[in-house]
Copies of this chain bind each other. A is one copy, B any other.
Amino acid sequence: MADKYPITDHSRVRRSAKRGAYDRATVHGIIDAARICHVGFLEGTRPFVIPTLHARMGEEILLHGAKASRLMQYAASGEPICITCTLVDGLVLARSALHHSANYRSAVVFGTGRPIEDPDEKMSVLELFTEKIVPGRWTELRATTEKELAATAVASVHIDSASAKVREGGPIDLEEDMTETVWAGVVPIREQLGPVEPDSLLDPATPVPEYLESFR
């Protein structure tokens, strides 16, 4: 398999093209780092963007949800779909208003979906989802039943083409603004996981699992 996705007319990064990347490692890294994705689909001729949890297995982005949901029905339909994952890493404060920006990593994926109906395959996907939320969680849980699996829709979107775009580093100012005395730089943004909040119905003697302590 080529290391890079094909650059198509729709996947080509046009603005700030030097920030674009098409290699699978960069695209996959952003998809995996994002806790949610935004899925773009159509209802008639109207665009919809819905946030949802996702997971990745090789060249497939996996989605799950209620069978009757618009998103899951579209994702299973084979119609063109766009899935975008974005992480905001910082606020970029430049010496002029127009050069203010954000540091970010984004991946825009174009693909086509198919339903996953085989119970074993669905079970693998559910494991992947659970492990993406908190690694180590799956093996601690009771087994998922066939009835539960049957009530859940799972769809896989194959990555036909994709591009990543990454901005990092400090402000890029005009030469003539370098004598401005205003503070300039970056305010980093990070995701912070807070102290765990036990369910109100949980037996207080239940220990916080090791995988959760190390995850935090």
Contact = CB atoms under 8 A, between A and B. Distances in A.
Nearest to A91: B133
Contacts of A110: 46
A184 B202 contact: yes
Given A141-B96, A141-B97, A51 B189 contact: no
A87 to B, nearest CB: 9
A181 B125 CA distance: 24
Contacts of A97: 126-127, 129-130, 137-138, 141, 144
Contacts of A41: 47
B212 A14 contact: no
A3 interface: no
A196 B101 CA distance: 15
A39 interface: yes
Contacts of A78: none
B202 A140 contact: no
A102 interface: yes
B181 A86 contact: no
